[in-house]
């Protein structure tokens, strides 16, 4: 048995396909991306090594990049906070009821499996000035005429522009089910003995939540938060489909759309890679920070 399982040839046979694919499609391209990000590389032009030029330009001269960074960080903070609160709240409610728990759970999770490209189109329509929400508000008499209502997706005033806020709420609608599901899985894993013992000691339900549930699901909070953070930094589909390209100029970019435009519309591949590397570094840093500060200790 032991000899059989130490068969080197078999191990290599089993690992090889996945390992080779991984190295060719993930590891080598990442190294290349880092290299390209230090080069002046445009489609059909030779690659020229220029050092940190791309990064200097990215952080000092590029106004779109500033907007993209601002919007992406807003998305990240917003989704970390709101998904944590809403997800945990829903999970707490759903674990407390008996009838219909699965039904509600499945309904709230449904948008997560749907194409965000398609849902983006749907919400784009709902927030179109003359139709959708504004028409509904007009029919309730909240606003005199639909054209006078808020320009949900076209208003470019303010530090964080309205379209970005609208999109972040749509994203919350779509993805809160995922956080909820993760918290629920963890909460249902807590032994009911603990709650019973606490109840005997005179612990109220809200006390039980803050003193027992919350500390015990702390590892999952870290996991869910880092998933949210990475997911919202990568954000592309909703923004791309809800804000028509170039319609709001540079203000409505996020990192992913900025990278896409630079690399595949303006053919600045090296510059695009620099944005990609910034994105990667941000993902890693945020994950590390969350794991350091949230996941302090595990009780299990």
Partner 1 sequence: MSAKTETISVANHRTKVIHGFIYAFLILLAIIYLLPLAWVVITSLKDDAVLMISPWELPARPMFENYSFAWTMGHLGTATLNSFIVCSITLLFSMIFGAMAAFAIARMRWKLSKLVLTYFMIGMMIPVHCVLIPLFVQFSSLKLSNTLIGIIIPYITFSLPITIYIMAGFFEGIPDELFESACIDGCSVYRMFTTVGIPLAKTGFMVTGLMSFVGNWNELLLAMVFISKEAKKTLPVSLTKFVGPYHTNYCQMFAAIVIAVIPTIIVYCVFANQIVEGLTAGAVKG
Selected from 53, 66, 234, 250, the binder of partner 1 by CB under 8 A is 234
Q: For partner 1, which residue of 51, 77, 115, 249 counts as binding (CB under 8 A)?
A: 115
Taking the C-alpha atoms of residue 68 and residue 39, their distance in angstroms, rounded to an integer, is: 22
**Interaction pattern, residues 183-202, with partner 1; x per rule: CB under 8 A:** --xx----------------
Element (H, E) at 49: strand 48-49
Binding-site member from 72, 178, 232, 261 for partner 1 (CB under 8 A): 178
Concatenated DSSP letters for 245-297?
Answer: TTSSTTTT--HHHHHHIIIIIS-BHHHHHHHHHHHHHHHHHHHHHHHHHT---
The answer to whether 107 contacts partner 1 (rule: CB under 8 A) is yes
The answer to whether 116 contacts partner 1 (rule: CB under 8 A) is yes
Which of 13/56 has CB closer to partner 1?
13
Q: Is 223 in the site for partner 1 (CB under 8 A)?
A: yes
Q: Does 5 bind partner 1 (CB under 8 A)?
A: yes
Stretch that binds partner 1, among 67-75, 77-85, 111-119, 160-168 (CB under 8 A): 111-119
For partner 1, the binding residue among 56, 85, 117, 197 (CB under 8 A) is: 117
Query: Please, what is the minimum distance in Å from the beta carbon of residue 197 to partner 1?
Result: 20
**2 lies in the binding site for partner 1 (CB under 8 A):** yes
User: Distance from first CA to last CA of the chain, Å, rounded?
Assistant: 33
Residue span binding partner 1 (CB under 8 A) among the ranges 52-60, 157-165, 209-217, 241-249: 241-249
Q: Is 25 in the site for partner 1 (CB under 8 A)?
A: yes
| Closest to partner 1 by CB, 214 or 230 | 230
State which H helix or E strand residue 40 sits in.
strand 39-40
Location of structure tokens 């939540």: 209
Indicate left, alpha or beta for 76 from its phi (over 0: left) and psi (-120 to 50: alpha): alpha
One residue of 125, 142, 169, 210 binding partner 1 per CB under 8 A: 125
Site track 139-158 with partner 1 (rule: CB under 8 A), x = hit: --------------x-----
**In contact, 172 and 231? CB cutoff 8 Å:** no
276 is a contact residue toward partner 1 (CB under 8 A): yes
Contact present, 173 and 120 (Cβ < 8 Å)? no
Cβ at position 16, least distance to partner 1 in Å: 9
57, 271 contact by CB (below 8 A): yes
Is 85 among the residues that bind partner 1 (CB under 8 A)? no
Q: Are 223 and 80 in contact (CB under 8 A)?
A: no
Dihedral sign computed on CA atoms, order 280, 283, 287, 289? positive
Which position among 216, 221, 239, 273 is part of the footprint of partner 1 (CB under 8 A)? 273
Answer yes or no: are the C-beta atoms of 39 and 48 closer than 8 Å: yes
Kindly state the tokens that stand for 266. 């303006």
**Alpha carbon separation from 78 to 46, 229, 251, 285 (Å, rounded):** 42, 10, 18, 17
Q: CB 261 → partner 1: shortest distance, Å?
A: 12
- Contact yes or no for 219/297 (Cβ under 8 A): no
Question: Which 46-65 residues touch partner 1, going by CB under 8 A?
Answer: none
- Tokens of residue 131, six digits: 């139709």
């Amino acid at each position: 048995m032991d000899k059989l399982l130490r068969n080197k040839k078999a191990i290599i046979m089993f690992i090889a396909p996945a390992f080779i694919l991984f190295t060719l499609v993930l590891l080598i391209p990442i190294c290349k991306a880092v290299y390209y990000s230090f080069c002046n590389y445009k489609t059909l032009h030779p690659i020229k090594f220029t050092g940190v030029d791309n990064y200097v330009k990215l952080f000092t001269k590029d106004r779109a990049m500033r907007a993209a960074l601002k919007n992406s960080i807003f998305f990240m903070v917003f989704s970390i906070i709101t998904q944590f609160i809403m997800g945990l709240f829903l999970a707490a409610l759903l674990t407390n009821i008996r009838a219909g728990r699965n039904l509600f759970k499945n309904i709230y999770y449904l948008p997560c499996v749907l194409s965000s490209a398609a849902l983006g189109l749907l919400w784009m329509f709902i927030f179109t000035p003359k139709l959708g929400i504004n028409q509904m508000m007009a029919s309730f008499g909240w606003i005199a005429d639909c054209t006078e209502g808020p320009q949900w997706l076209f208003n470019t005033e303010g530090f964080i522009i309205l379209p970005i806020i609208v999109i972040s709420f749509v994203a919350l609608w779509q993805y809160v089910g995922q956080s909820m599901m993760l918290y629920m899985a963890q909460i249902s894993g807590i032994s009911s003995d603990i709650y019973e013992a606490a109840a005997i000691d005179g612990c109220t339900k809200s006390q039980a939540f803050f003193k027992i549930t919350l500390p015990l699901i702390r590892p999952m909070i870290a996991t869910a938060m880092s998933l949210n953070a990475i997911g919202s930094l990568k954000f592309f589909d909703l923004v791309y489909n809800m804000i028509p390209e170039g319609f709001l100029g540079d203000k409505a970019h996020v990192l992913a759309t900025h990278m896409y435009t630079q690399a595949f519309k303006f053919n600045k591949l090296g510059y695009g890679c620099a944005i990609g590397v910034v994105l990667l570094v941000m993902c890693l840093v945020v994950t590390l920070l969350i794991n350091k500060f949230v996941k302090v200790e595990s009780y299990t």
